[in-house]
Amino acid sequence: MRPTTSKVKLAIVSMLGSELVQGSKVLDLFAGTGSVGIELSKLGAEKVVMIEQNSKQCSEIEERIKSFNTKSFEIKRANVFSVLPKLNSKFDIIFADPPYEYNYFNKLSTLIDKPNITTQKSLFIYEHFKKDETPRYFGNFKKLRDKTYGDSRISIFKKGEVVSND
């Protein structure tokens, strides 16, 4: 497992800004340690749903959130690709940090660009290996920003900006 570094986590928070996070519903895919979801909760996210397949990681997340309002968190021990099609909750911010050895962007983007889990202005934040490219557009999403931090790259997409396949 490769957790999101503090530097990358701070960069994500900085890029989003607390105004955008305040009152939002967050989906944290491949949650790992849960650090990104927890940080967004600290900034005022109303609800954070974390999906992590590893049961040990889920137990660790549960321990870490005990000091918070646990009603604002939901942890699902499940395979991301199995649970995404079944979700029926809309999220303002979707964060994904899959293992770098797999390039899951195409598979994830197909599942994320669905009206059952996104709002008209949802953001998709994808953490990936710096050499892996992401498209400017996918479905109803447009890339807003790409930033590299060490071996990690953060790509931020927004739904509803432009519907194009340029």
Instruction: Write out the chain in H/E/C secondary structure.
Output: CCCCCHHHHHHHHHHHCHHHHCCCEEEEECCCCCHHHHHHHHCCCCEEEEEECCHHHHHHHHHHCCCCCHHHEEEEECCHHHHHHHCCCCEEEEEECCCCCCCCHHHHHHHHCCCCCEEEEEEEEEEEECCCCCCCEECCEEEEEEEEECCEEEEEEEECCCCCCC
* pLDDT exceeds 50 at position 166: no
Q: What is the domain extent for residue 62?
A: 21-159
Q: Is residue 164 part of a domain?
A: no
Residue 3 inside a domain? The answer is no
Q: Tell me, what's the pLDDT at 7? A: 72
Quick one: average pLDDT of 29-44?
A: 92
When comparing pLDDT for 107 and 166, which is higher?
Answer: 107
Mean pLDDT of the residues in the chain? 88
CATH number for the domain harbouring residue 57: 3.40.50.150
71 domain-assigned? yes
Selected residue with higher pLDDT from 164 and 28: 28
Count up the domains in the chain and report the number: 1
**Which one has a higher pLDDT value, 10 or 110?**
110
Per-residue pLDDT band for 163 (boundaries 50, 70, 90) equals: very low
Q: Which pLDDT does position 18 carry in this prediction?
A: 72
